[in-house]
Amino acid sequence: MTSSPIRLAINGASGRMGQALLSLLRDERRFELAHAVVSPGSAHDGEPVWLGQALRHARDWSRAPALDVVIDFSGPAGLAATLDHCLAHGIPLVTGTTGLDAQLQARLDAAGSRVALLRAANFSLGVALLTRLLREAAAALPDWDLEIVEAHHGRKQDAPSGTALALGQAAAAARDSTLEDAAVYSREGHTGARVPGSIGFAVIRGGDIVGEHQALLIGSGERLELGHRATDRAIFARGALQAAQWLVGRAAGHWRLEDVLASPR
């Protein structure tokens, strides 16, 4: 790790994740917040980032200083602009932005040859470890049935969650399959016997559940349960900061949050 603070920029600074990151950075000594971007027209444009901080929210990257790493939790358009800036200046990028179209996805795929990129559907370090454990278990127990159950607050718009799908993808790949071939997203009526090798998903929505994910590997006479329960949204911001610190100085390429666990600093 560098001896001086890491010069960090955040895109999506006024969003839920951006605000969580800013809250943590108030007490962080590893980082210096050098640039904070909000969407054009945002009510926060030009406002101080926080009380006592000279830095103000910016609408774009035109006046960004030299940076060591960028964290992006914005939207597709915001991420595209961030990617332009990172590629132009060789800056590592950590992103959890979702809803990407095929064109932006292709740009990110290609960008890995020029800068270090770390993308994740979920920045919980516990979920990263759960993914690793599930991958190993699915490969070691290829004939066991696999069900993934996830629960979130009642306001969540998508189902299954991106994290549940990522868990399913990891398990399917470990069994030399794909989620497209293995996934079963609903069961109703007379469904017939379970298809061998399928991966079932169940969804719970209600209250203020932050996020819970459980993988059930079910054999004859026994069951293995792997799970993670989030009780504080700050864990995702902490994981993103950990990823940003880890990514500084890494070679160009596509990195995973599991890589951060494999070789922590």
Angle formed by the axes of helices 162-174 and 125-140, to 10°? 30
Q: Has 152 been annotated as catalytic?
A: yes
Sheet hosting strand 69-72, strand order edge to edge: 31-37, 6-11, 69-72, 93-95, 116-119, 253-255
- Selected catalytic residue, list 35, 44, 57, 152: 152
Residue 35 annotated to the active site: no
Q: What are the phi and psi torsion angles at 52 (to 5°)? A: 90, -5
Give the closest residue to 164 by CA, choosing from 233, 224, 211. Answer: 211
By CB atoms closer than 10 A (0-12, 13-18, 19+), residue 75 is middle
Q: Is the separation of the CB atoms in 232 and 251 below 8 Å?
A: no
Angle at Cα 61 formed by Cα 57 and Cα 67, nearest 5°? 90
DSSP state of 195: P
Strands 93-95 and 145-152: unpaired
Q: How many CA atoms lie within 13 A of 86 on its CB side?
A: 32
8-state DSSP, 56: B
Helix (H, G, I), strand (E, B) or coil at 262: helix
Contact 175, 142 (CB under 8 A): yes
Q: Which helix (H) or strand (E) holds 108?
A: helix 102-111
* Amino acid identity for residue 59 in this structure: R
User: Catalytic residue numbers?
Assistant: 152, 156
